[in-house]
Structure formats: C-alpha cells, structure tokens
Amino acid sequence: MRSEAVPEHDAAAPQASPTDEVGAFLNRRREQIAQRWADEPLFRAVFTVSRDEAVEAGRSVVDALAQVAASGRVEDSDSAGFTVVREQLARMTAARSRSGMSTAQVSGEVDALRAPVVNLLVADLPDVPAERLRESTEALTVLMGTLRLVVMETALTEVQSLIDRQQMQLLEVATPIIRLWDGIVAVPLIGTLDSARSQVVMETLLEAVVDQQARYAILDITGVPTVDSLVAQHLMKTVAAVRLMGAECVVSGIRPAIAQTIVHLGLDLGTVITRAGLADALAYALHGLGADIVHATPGGAGHR
C-alpha cells in the first residue's frame, strides 16, 4: 500500500504515495471537511453552543489526520499526529457517554465521519487513474479506522482511570484503623474481600501494629457477608504475619452463618484466636495486657 506499490508508476512520472496524496487532500479540503463534520451527530451533539465551535474542533481533527497521513503511518494509533487531539477526543466521547450513549454507539458516530470525507476525496480526484484512486481511498479508509480506534482507546482510558479512582476511594473508605486502647488496634472489615483488598487490609493492619506498637490487632469481620476459602486463607496469613512481628491477632464477628460455612467447607482456621464480637475480642486483648474489665458496682466484680 505504501512505497512498495510506487515503482510501477515511477517510470511514467514521479508520483506521491497514496498516504501523501491523502495528506495533501486533507490539507487542501480542510475547511470543507470540517464544515461537513460539524453537521454530523458526533460534533453537533457535543458542541451545542455554536456551530463555529464544532467547525473549529473538526479542523483540529483534520489537521491531526493530515499529519498522520504525511508520516505514512495511517494504521498506527500511536502516531505522533494523534497526540494533540487525544484530549479533545476524550472530552467529546466523555460528553457522548454522559448523555447515555454506549461505547458501540459512540464508535458508530465516529464511523459516520468516514463517508463524507471519502466522498469528498473521490470528487476531488476525477482525473486520477482508477487504480491510484482506489489506493488513496483505501489509505483514507484505513486512516479513518485508526481514528476510530484512537477514540475507543481514549474512551477506555477514561473508564479505566475512573475505575482506578473509585477503587482507591473504596480501599480508603473500607479500611479504617481504630486504636481501641493503648496497645490495641482494630480494623472493622465491611463488604466483600477480594484479593487486592485483602492485601491492602493486611498491609494497613501490619503498619498500624508497628506505628502504634500494638500488642493486639483485632480483625472484625462482622460486615463481611461471606467467608470462602480465599478469605479464610487471607485471614490466616494476616494472623501469621502479625505473629511474626511479635503481636497477636484476634478475629471477631464470625456470625453463626459464617461459622457454619467455615465448618461446612472444612476450612481449618488453625491457631487463629476467634471471638464472637468486637467487645469480646477487646476484653480478651485487655486481659492479655493485664487490664481486666470489672463492674464498678459492689458485688458485680469479675471479668468477662
């Protein structure tokens, strides 16, 4: 499609490659293309304030395509030419997504930009031999396909960074470290534990043990809906790591249903110390620190 195809024609006259031809065409017809695109749904729906705005955006996309065509790499979505319009394309796709369009629909709208520009190219080169026209049209079609790919890539990147942000927020929200007493820290776990979250929980708890020189770390799983073998494994790893650091880990909040699941699954929590509730775990830890809880009223003395 590129330089390999040229030599045949070389004998007649030195001619531009199809990609060069497309590049020159885009520069020549920049204004017309931008005007036509401004009436297409993608531009019309995003730039609602004024048509001039849509035309201006169209010009910058045409410029980018011209630059990519001139570089000869029409099939490469990493072409330097696309860099300048990536942000603008991202804004456009984000606007379409916000108005409820699916990714496939946005992709279709980008595809709709192809026909006007291809028609313009055909109309623009009436005297060119059929073979060369076919090559140029093909190069332009490939280029428009690459534009579509770039748009999809930017859309995916947007979605991914949104997920990343939300994941981080979730991790922050979901792992508070509470200092219950001098030397006792607790992490109440809420929601489903997947591998990544368990990792963060483990690390956060272990850091807290060091920072606060806590001899007891309580993992309260009252808010964890289910305990499967993976979660059980993470619990046991946490307990083992805490022990290696010289502290003791207590798991509290194992609801009856979860206790049954654990037994049913045949999971062995081994040497893990468990207590029914957070209060029981705290009492256990306080006792270990030599600070027993006693009732203040006479006759009610005795520790839990």
Partner 1 sequence: MSGTAAGVEARLPIRSDLDLVWVRQHVRQAAATLGFGLVEQTKLVTAASELARNTLVYGGGGELRAVPLTDGRAQGLRLVFSDSGPGIPDVEQALRDGYTSGGGLGMGLGGARRLVHEFAIDSTPGAGTTVTVTSWAARTPRPREEP
Partner 2 sequence: MNDDLSRAGGAPVPVLRLGDVLLVTLQGDLHDGTAEQLRQDIVAAIAGSRVTGVVIDISGVEIVDSFLGRVLAEIAANARLLAAQTVVAGMRPAVALTLVELGLTLPGLRTALSTGAALELLGRVDAAATDGPRREPR
Please give the residue ranges that form the binding site for partner 2 (CB under 8 A).
202-203, 206-207, 209-210, 213-215, 237, 240-247
The CA angle 208-180-195, to the nearest 5 degrees, is 45
DSSP-assigned letter for residue 98: H
Binding partner of residue 164 among partner 2, partner 1, none, CB cut-off 5 to 8 Å per kind:
partner 1
- According to the binding rule CB under 8 A, does residue 162 interact with partner 1? no
Among 8, 131, 172, 182, binds partner 1 (CB under 8 A): 172
- According to the binding rule CB under 8 A, does residue 159 interact with partner 1? no
Binding partner of residue 114 among partner 2, partner 1, none, CB cut-off 5 to 8 Å per kind:
none
Residues 57/66, Cβ–Cβ less than 8 Å: no
Q: Within its chain, how far is the Cα of 235 from the centroid?
A: 28
* Rounded Cα gap, residues 258 and 190, in angstroms: 14
CB of 37 to partner 2, least distance (A): 54
CB of 123 to partner 1, least distance (A): 41
Residues 109/87, Cβ–Cβ less than 8 Å: no
Question: Contact region for partner 1 (CB under 8 A) — 163-171, 220-228, 271-279, 282-290?
Answer: 163-171
Residue numbers 200-229 binding partner 1 by CB under 8 A:
200, 203, 207
Q: What is the pairing mode between strands 248-252 and 216-223?
A: parallel
143 phi and psi angles, rounded to 5 deg: -60, -40
CB of 246 to partner 2, least distance (A): 4
Q: Within its chain, how far is the Cα of 208 from the centroid?
A: 29
Number of residues that bind partner 1 (CB under 8 A): 10
